[in-house]
Amino acid sequence: MNLTLQKSTIQKQSVVNITGSKSESNRLLLLQALFPNLTIENISNSDDSQLMAKALKTESVVIDIHHAGTAMRFLTAYFSIQEGREVILTGSDRMKERPIKILVEALQSLGAHIEYLENEGFPPLKIKGKKLSNNKVSLQANVSSQYISALLLIATKLENGLKLTLEGEITSVPYINMTLSLLDEIGVESSFNDNVITVKPISDIQSNKTLTVESDWSSASYYYSIVALSPVGTEIALSSYKNNSLQGDSVLVDIYEHFGVTSTFNNNTVTLIKESSILQPLSLNLQNAPDIAQTIAVTCFGLGISCNLTGLHTLKIKETDRLVALKTEIEKLGGNIDITDKSLHLHESKSIKKSVPIATYNDHRMAMAFAPLALKNDIIIEHAYVVSKSYPTFWDDLISIGFEITQ
Ligand SMILES: O=C(O)C1=C[C@@H](OP(=O)(O)O)[C@@H](O)[C@H](O)C1
Ligand SMILES: C=C(OP(=O)(O)O)C(=O)O
């Protein structure tokens, strides 16, 4: 369904409550399946986390995780160690184009039994769970950190733990650190020095451990953009957030200062305030925070300023080719953007065309990143409910702060 967002001005002060991080939730759900004593609070209500939870509970042979990349990668590792169980792990058409060979080969070298059912290197996979006998593996680290997190999450259940050697430049490092921090919180010992990660095995965790998931910083990014595009004095309070987050996307706090947006933390709430109008070009390497690239590019477009974003090599293999999608949609609105396969350069612009239908390519972040432009002009978001992949109540929350949205 398409949604029309009329040019709106939001309330001067508003409050939004966002549910738990999808990344933290998906890690904790897998750890909970391995260690049932674990209780999780403020779990993500995203489709991806619900699919992850369901996949971990089902007894079906065929498990379809739709568009959920993190779930696909984490479950490949999880089912590899479920002795005696055989599953077929599949997903959407796009999932069948998202590479998984690096992870499959690493698991196979640890002893896993995994076959490709269609194209080599891509889902669907047939996995026969077994005990993995090896504990050392090297893998290429510049394609997706999800492969590394997947291995780390099952490492505690390998007889001798795991020693992982990362080859090449390591991408999306904060997500690897998030995995290690969550392991640490349940009492697992690990180390990460230079390019080597080690994880010690454990058989169980301390009884009745409860972990509370911090709310999702990638979801918060859309409010940073909204505040940046609003008049000076606009405030939005978001909960529940803390200023020492495990999520790399919390770097938003520093990045949006560039647009005159300040963040103040108080009692699990972060309040974003548009303090001043700064219109300076922006240059940023987003290798550590790829999921906020679309938000930032669209903020710059909304403000009419130029930006140079680098470190975007992983964007081509996400829900869609996000570099091409950004270029196509920003150009429809009258912008001018050059892309390579790992960077983008947005040129300064003067206006935003009215009532342009924005295609979303089955990518939640395309829909959410473009929505804040309604503060500047009318805009149409196609297949708008794609947002449920990570943030099902996104449109209701925008209406609650003053957006005028109709079908
Ligand atoms: O581990 C995770 O939870 C994620 C890692 C990142 O992927 P890459 O490491 O493939 O960049 C990120 O884009 C994704 O949304 C979530
Ligand atoms: C890339 C993303 O998710 P995944 O890789 O888990 O599909 C995302 O949420 O932006």
The answer to whether the peptide bond before residue 99 is cis (omega within 30 degrees of 0) is no
* Ligand nearest the Cα atom of residue 100: 1
309 close to 343: Cβ distance less than 8 angstroms? yes
Nearest-atom index, ligand 1, CA of 145: 9
CA distance 2 to 390: 18
Q: How far apart are CA 136 and CA 133, in angstroms?
A: 10
Q: How far apart are CA 59 and CA 80, in angstroms?
A: 15
Q: Is 130 annotated as a binding residue?
A: no
ipTM (interface pTM)? 0.99
- List strands edge to edge, sheet with 307-310: 282-285, 307-310, 344-346, 337-339
Task: Give the chain's mean pLDDT.
Answer: 97
For residue 208, the model assigns a pLDDT of 85
pLDDT score, position 128: 98
Residues 118-135: tens digit of each pLDDT: 999 999 999 999 999 999
- Which residue in the block uniquely carries the two structure tokens 């739709």? 66
* Same domain? 276 vs 199: no
Domain endpoint, select from 189, 212, 235: 212
Q: Are residues 232 and 353 in the same domain?
A: yes
What percent of the chain has a predicted confidence (pLDDT) above 90?
A: 99
Instruction: Please give all residues whose beta carbon lies within 6 A of any atom in ligand 2, as ranges.
Output: 67-70, 291, 318-319, 365, 390
Residue range 286-303, pLDDT digits in tens:
999 999 999 999 999 999
Confidence label for 10 from pLDDT (cuts 50, 70 and 90): very high
- Tell me: is residue 145 an annotated ligand-binding position: yes
pLDDT greater than 90 at residue 366: yes
Boundary of a domain, candidates 154, 188, 212? 212
Task: Give the end-to-end CA distance of the chain in Å, rounded to a whole number.
Answer: 7
Mean pLDDT (whole number) for 104-128: 98
- pLDDT value, residue 257: 98
What pLDDT, on the 0 to 100 scale, is given for residue 389?
Answer: 98
Nearest protein Cα to ligand 2, atom 8? 291
**290 and 143 fall within a common domain:** no
State the distance from the centre of ligand 2 to the C-alpha of 346, rounded, in angstroms: 23
Both 294 and 399 in one domain: the answer is: yes
The total domain count for the chain is 2
Last residue of a domain, one of 212, 228, 252: 212
Residues 75 and 88 in one domain: yes
Q: What is the pLDDT of residue 18?
A: 98
Whether residue 77 is found in the same domain as residue 63: yes
pLDDT digit string, tens, across residues 12-36 = 999 999 999 999 999 999 999 999 9
Which residues are tagged catalytic?
Answer: 291
Residue pLDDT, tens place only, 92-101:
999 999 999 9
The verdict on 240 and 334 lying in the same domain is yes
CATH number at residue 88: 3.65.10.10
Kindly tell me if the per-residue pLDDT of 206 is higher than 90: no
| pLDDT(207) > 90 | no
Collapsed DSSP state (helix, strand, coil) of residue 90: strand
Q: What is the residue whose two structure tokens read 């005990």?
A: 131
Note the pLDDT tens digit of each residue in 380-390: 999 999 999 99
Stretch 54-71: mean pLDDT: 98
Split at pLDDT 50, 70, 90, the class of 205 is very high
Residue 62 has pLDDT above 90, yes or no: yes
Q: 144: domain range? A: 22-212
- Whether 260 and 302 map to the same domain: the answer is yes
Other beta carbons within 10 angstroms of residue 371's beta carbon come to 25
Nearest atom of ligand 1 to the alpha carbon of 26: 3
Residues 236 and 282 grouped into a single domain:
yes
Secondary structure class of 176 (helix, strand, coil): helix
Which residues have any ligand 1 atom within 6 Å of their CB?
Answer: 23, 70, 144-146, 149, 171-172, 175, 290-291, 314
Q: Which residue, chain included where needed, has tokens 């109709």?
A: 406
Tell whether 78 and 166 lie within a shared domain: yes
